[in-house]
A and B are shown apart, each in its own frame.
Chain A
Amino acid sequence: MSKPLDFDAAEQLAMATGDVEPEQLDHDAPVSLPPPGPRYEAVPRAASPAIPEPEGELLEVSVGPHHPSTHGVFRMNVVLDGEKIVQLKPVFGYLHRNHEKLGEQTTYLGNMPYTDRLDYFCSLSNNWAYALAVEKLAGLKVPERAEYIRVITAELTRLVNHSSLVGFLLHDMGTMGTPLMYAFREREKILDAFEALTGARMMCNYHRFGGCRVDLPPGWLDQVRTIVDNFPRFIDEMERLLSENEVLIARTHGVGVLPPELAVNAGVTGPSLRASGINYDLRKVDRYGIYDRFQFRVPLGEKGDVYDRYMMRILEMRESVKILQQALRDIPEGPVIDPKVRLRNFTPPVGEAYGRIEAPKGELGFYLISDGSKKPYRYRIRPPSFINLTVLEDMCRGHTLADAVIILGAVDIVLGEVDR
């Protein structure tokens, strides 16, 4: 820990500690990408010259589905040359329950509790994405106070997700749970707040079309204010513990580099995309809800390696705290739900809508086709962690199997969402 930092991790740290002036980050500037070309055209697998001449014999290993590092039931079919990965095929679907078919057989309202179970770490974000898509489809407006509550709950969810992810990532590197337990301690406080508001800790089922289910209970805002005010202390603690840690830097620096052009072409979203230096945050791009009212920055990485992805989570937590402080300061009084929206027999007009939000793991979209009945004709979820897995092989190739575990950990998958 006392070893001086050699590579540009120090620059990353400068960003982390806020030494970068906000002016240096222009969020509305378009991303400067080289023109797309044949560089990232997908070639047929058989033709891809991915496997170089091996030194010895190639070894095929099936990692998972019950491997502790796979965050659920997930399998990687890995071809190894010595300890180097030459091919990696993710296999999933063990948790598949055909969520989308269920969605077509259930009413619009009845789908709301099911969305909790997609990414079970971030049920309130999922609620919001679904509510947003339905509101777009039906042309509903959300009362001011409800918008603020949505922002508060979504950003708290982001804190929950990112802090646990950092814990899990470090757990994968062999810290045996210490950061994870610290993260879970903070998560516990936020879950207590969720329980006080929604009645459930994880399966919140709180947002409704045109607002939120119930108003805040008395004292809830103070409870959240305490959590938010104490949260930077926790982030500092994590950073002191981890960001300069020799082992962490050695394990993550330069591992699993994702070039920005490939990240865009492969539809990677969320912190992984921004770690590659692409300034694309839907809270800034779409400005859904009331995100245009808040002052916050979008942290960007430079290398796109696992360290950047780790740092992205830490920095985004700091920005979330800023948003939360502003939202808690500005939240107005008023109704939380549009009383004209029918709860039962809710029927949006014929048509279709695609609504998306910046969920903690990336772009979470809901695509709905309505045929004018009580149930959606087509109910499609665009799961961020599923699509972020597309580039897992590209990131892992050439690294060791132990690195693949970390790269997978930094992608941040939840199998409830991948498999649906």
Chain B
Amino acid sequence: MSACASSPTSGGGASGSLPSLEALRDRLLEAVPGAQIQIQPNPAVPEQSSLVVDPAHAVAVARYLRDAEDLRLDYCSNVTGVDWLDAFTEETVTRTRVVEGREVTVEETIRHRRPGYLEVVYHLYSMSLRHGPVILRQRTRNRVDDTRVASLTPVWRSAEFQEREVYDLFGVQFEGHPDLRRILMWDEFADHPMRKDYVEPDDYEYEPTPNAEILPKARRHYPLEGTA
């Protein structure tokens, strides 16, 4: 049947000869001493869950994935960045407190802050053994001043332009990249437009139809008489 998500052979999810992600993680931990590797589950497409690797050992892990005889992930298909802003989760806990000599149960809301970070995602396949994907992720420490990850361009040349693009649009610094320059934006451009908090320059162009999103912008630039 023409199922797209359920059939294991369709749509790039074929991972027949690959070990499970847990086994793969254990092997990597053994092969690359000191590496920190976590599994990030993917609730929507479980077979596309990913491995989060610390940047210090990313190149070694990548090289192992490429060179191990039964993995041979020689083809890095897709490299991309993701911007995760600071996230706040609220948790309600019930606690017992002593207030004025009496024990009372109060509900407290604790606000957790998960600091934001930039993430680089690599989709790896094997052309020799025709399996995949194995998804690697690297995370930066924060979004502001320490946005370094290791470049995997020395392992897969296909990451060269794509890492340049991630650097250009997200501002991730790839250490070890042979030629880290802007690729889509011009060299003098200062910001990184794919970040979630990027503010567009206020270059208003007159629009004869001020629709919902343009209307406030239009109001800043000229008084709209009669319209809306």
A124: Cβ under 8 A from any B Cβ? no
How near does chain B come to A289, taking the closest CB pair, in angstroms?
7
A288 adjacent to B154 (CB under 8 Å): no
* The stretch of A31-39, A301-309, A314-322, A397-405 that contacts the partner chain: A31-39
Residue among B130, B157, B183 with most chain A CB within 10 A: B157
Contacts of A140 in B (CB 8 A): 4-5
Contacts of B76 in A (CB 8 A): 267
Chain B 162-203 per-residue mask, 1 if CB under 8 angstroms from chain A, else 0: 100000010000000011001111100000011000100000
Determine which of B43, B69, B123, B194 lies in contact with A101 in the assembled complex, contact meaning CB atoms within 8 Å.
B194
A266 adjacent to B78 (CB under 8 Å): no
* The stretch of A60-68, A91-99, A112-120 that contacts the partner chain: A91-99
If A287-B10, A369-B82 touch, whether A356 touches B77 (CB-CB below 8 Å) is yes
Q: How far is the CA of A31 from the CA of B186 in the complex (A)?
A: 40
Contacts of B169 in A (CB 8 A): 98, 100
Q: Which residue of B lies closest to A47 (CB)?
A: B178
A136 adjacent to B178 (CB under 8 Å): no
B158: Cβ under 8 A from any A Cβ? yes
B54: Cβ under 8 A from any A Cβ? no
If A143-B2, A267-B77 touch, whether A262 touches B157 (CB-CB below 8 Å) is yes
Q: How far is the CA of A347 from the CA of B212 in the complex (A)?
A: 22
Q: How far is the CA of A382 from the CA of B185 in the complex (A)?
A: 18
Q: Which residue of A lies closest to B193 (CB)?
A: A98
Contacts of A40 in B (CB 8 A): 157
Q: How far is the CA of A109 from the CA of B21 in the complex (A)?
A: 33
Interface size class of A (residues with CB under 8 A): 35 or more
Determine which of B6, B121, B156, B198 lies in contact with A267 in the assembled complex, contact meaning CB atoms within 8 Å.
B156
B23: Cβ under 8 A from any A Cβ? no
> Total contacts A to B, CB within 8 angstroms?
187
How near does chain B come to A82, taking the closest CB pair, in angstroms?
25
B185 adjacent to A96 (CB under 8 Å): yes
Chain B 31-57 per-residue mask, 1 if CB under 8 angstroms from chain A, else 0: 000000000001111001000000000
Q: How far is the CA of A327 from the CA of B169 in the complex (A)?
A: 42
Q: Is the interface of B mostly helix, strand, loop or mixed?
A: loop
B161: Cβ under 8 A from any A Cβ? yes
If A140-B5, A147-B2 touch, whether A387 touches B158 (CB-CB below 8 Å) is yes
A92 adjacent to B128 (CB under 8 Å): no
How near does chain A come to B2, taking the closest CB pair, in angstroms?
4
Contacts of A363 in B (CB 8 A): 77
Q: How far is the CA of A386 from the CA of B162 in the complex (A)?
A: 9
If A144-B2, A290-B2 touch, whether A349 touches B44 (CB-CB below 8 Å) is yes
If A140-B4, A267-B158, A354-B123 touch, whether A289 touches B193 (CB-CB below 8 Å) is no
A417: Cβ under 8 A from any B Cβ? no
Contacts of A378 in B (CB 8 A): 80, 82
Contacts of B154 in A (CB 8 A): 41-43
Contacts of B80 in A (CB 8 A): 367, 378, 380, 382
Determine which of A100, A262, A287, A354 lies in contact with B133 in the assembled complex, contact meaning CB atoms within 8 Å.
A354
A199: Cβ under 8 A from any B Cβ? no
A352 adjacent to B193 (CB under 8 Å): no
A351 adjacent to B45 (CB under 8 Å): yes
Determine which of A33, A48, A267, A367 lies in contact with B128 in the assembled complex, contact meaning CB atoms within 8 Å.
A33
Determine which of A141, A349, A352 lies in contact with B6 in the assembled complex, contact meaning CB atoms within 8 Å.
A141
4 pairs of A and B residues whose beta carbons are closest in the complex: A351-B44, A267-B158, A93-B184, A266-B157
Known: A36-B74, A48-B178, A390-B157. 20 other contacts (CB 8 A): A30-B130, A31-B130, A43-B154, A45-B179, A98-B169, A101-B194, A135-B5, A136-B12, A138-B44, A140-B4, A264-B75, A267-B75, A280-B75, A354-B12, A363-B77, A370-B44, A377-B82, A386-B161, A386-B162, A390-B161
Q: List 17 A-B contacts (CB under 8 A).
A: A42-B153, A45-B178, A48-B178, A92-B183, A93-B182, A96-B184, A139-B44, A140-B5, A141-B4, A262-B157, A266-B160, A267-B159, A288-B4, A289-B2, A290-B2, A353-B45, A356-B12
Q: Which residues of B contact A (CB under 8 A)?
A: 1-6, 9-14, 42-45, 48, 66-67, 69, 72, 74-78, 80, 82, 121, 123, 127-130, 133, 135, 153-162, 169, 178-179, 182-186, 193-194, 198
